[in-house]
Amino acid sequence: MRVGFFLAVRQLGRTNKGTTALIIFVMALTFLNLVFIGGILVGLIEGSTTTYRQLYSGDVIMSVLDKKPYIEDSPAAIAVAESLPWTRAVSARYVAGGLLEANYKDRTNYTDPPDQTNVLVEGMNPEDENSVTGIKNHLVEGSYLEPGDIDSVLVGSTKLYQYSPIDTPGLKTLKNVTVGTKVRIDIDGNVREFTVKGIVKSKVQEMDSRVYMLDTSVRDMLGRTDNGVNEIVMRLDSQSDADLAKQALMVSGIGDRAKIQTWQDAQPKAIKDIEGTFAMLGNIVGSIGLVVAAITTFIVIYINAITRRKFIGILRGIGVDAIAIEFSYVLQALVYSVMGTAFGILILVYILEPYFAAHPIDFPFSDGILVATFSGTLIRAALLVLASVVAGYIPARIVNNQNVLDAILGR
């Protein structure tokens, strides 16, 4: 062991610095390969859940109980939500099913089906909604609703052909609808004409499939006088715990009148399923990455050992035992992998994660970020180091097992 350490320290310290740097760089890239694809897969879903929380559910969402038309005693629930110490903003939403119709003025043949599609109509206070979801930043055309815009609507992009060019029986989209276009909205037989003021496009299906108008407009169309809303969404202070807020709402008795969910509870099942699927994919890709890492290390150490085959032969020739030589190579592999992994972690933490946080990958249904949890990164680093040690031992063993004389004479 002592001689192995003696040899390893000197070989590491006196090998060409460029070669050492290259090996460490290769190890760092190997480590990043191990965490990157899995991290992006997880980040893709993380981006999706983050966007869902940011744009739709808020930190806590209260919604209608089954078989109820609205949240009973909504003003009291809103008041409780606003009174919680962690609450930063609250928005109350009226939500009703309806029909959105366009191009009706150009319709000459009334035997043709109308150009219309099913929508969820959301009535809200523009200021409140924006303070919870930041919807204002997700208009691709036009401008946001103002308090006096009683005849204006925002339309979700998935309802418009130019943003969602599919036209199947279940997913009808409207053509030729843009800012300024007149549309008709039918809620329970009450039909009113509105002007499209803006088009909403985010990466949250629930948000992009709605039509937005002022709460007063929906109330008029619904003929509702009791202030009963369908959804109440809350934005908490950034460090606050959504579970704590949910608990407080439950304690106040709102749980009897509304379904209270944290943003995690409210995630659609599809997202949860995809999350599980991607986690599995991440593990599979990670396993392949680990094999690639082990092979890379094997090649690096093997080349190192092969180029020193003669010197290994000399050491064996003068009586240095195989264990000392193998230990020196394992130690070198350990140092290369630890340094490479440490370098990789630095790149990950200080360059890649901040970069992807600032410049998410534009996936169709989410802004993908790079997610590398502390424990996940640590496990991968440990696995890589372990694989490197094994991969470092094998070539040293192979070279060591060769005929001493052949190694010395270079045969």
Partner 1 sequence: MITVEHLHKEYQSGDAKVVALHDVGFSIEQGEFVAITGKSGSGKSTLLYQMSALDYPTSGSVVIDKTDVTRLSKNARAEFRLDKLGFVFQEYALLPELTALENVMIPLLMRGVSLGEAKDRAAGALRRVSLGDRLGNRPSQLSGGQQQRVAIARAVAHDPTIIFADEPTANLDSETSKTVLDIFLDLHQNGQTLVMVTHEPEYAALAERIIQLSDGEIVSDKKTR
| Token pair belonging to 217 | 């407009």
Give the footprint of partner 1 on residues 322-361 (CB under 8 A): 322, 324
Eight-state DSSP code of residue 348 = I
How far apart are the C-alpha atoms of 35 and 352, rounded to whole Å?
A: 11
Q: To which residue do tokens 């001689």 refer? A: 3
Instruction: Locate all alpha helices (DSSP H) within 209-347, ordered by sequence.
Output: 215-222, 242-251, 269-307, 309-317, 322-347
Only segment of 122-130, 163-171, 248-256, 403-411 that touches partner 1 (CB under 8 A): 403-411
Kindly state whether residue 316 participates in binding partner 1, applying the rule CB under 8 A.
yes
Classified as helix, coil or strand, 71 is coil
Q: Can you name the residues that pair with 139 across neighbouring β-strands?
A: 200
Kindly state whether residue 11 participates in binding partner 1, applying the rule CB under 8 A.
yes
Q: To which residue do tokens 């989410």 refer? A: 366
* Minimum gap (Å) between residue 405 Cβ and partner 1: 5
- Phi and psi dihedrals of 90, rounded to 5? -135, 140
Eight-state DSSP code of residue 352 = I
* Minimum gap (Å) between residue 378 Cβ and partner 1: 33
Among 97, 180, 317, 354, indicate the residue that binds partner 1 (CB under 8 A). Answer: 317
* Minimum gap (Å) between residue 391 Cβ and partner 1: 22
Interacting residues of 376 by C-beta distance below 8 A, sequence separation 6+: 35, 38
* Minimum gap (Å) between residue 408 Cβ and partner 1: 7
Kindly state whether residue 37 participates in binding partner 1, applying the rule CB under 8 A.
no
* Minimum gap (Å) between residue 2 Cβ and partner 1: 6
| Token pair belonging to 202 | 């985010």
Query: What would the x/- binding string for partner 1 be over residues 292 to 311, using CB under 8 A?
Result: ------------------xx
Which residue lies nearer to partner 1 by CB, 315 or 372? Answer: 315
CB 99 within 8 A of CB 93: no
Kindly state whether residue 411 participates in binding partner 1, applying the rule CB under 8 A.
no
| Token pair belonging to 68 | 């109820």
Among 76, 279, 347, 404, indicate the residue that binds partner 1 (CB under 8 A). Answer: 404
Kindly state whether residue 319 participates in binding partner 1, applying the rule CB under 8 A.
yes
| Residue ranges binding partner 1 (CB under 8 A) | 2-3, 6-7, 10-11, 13-15, 310-311, 314-322, 324, 403-405, 408
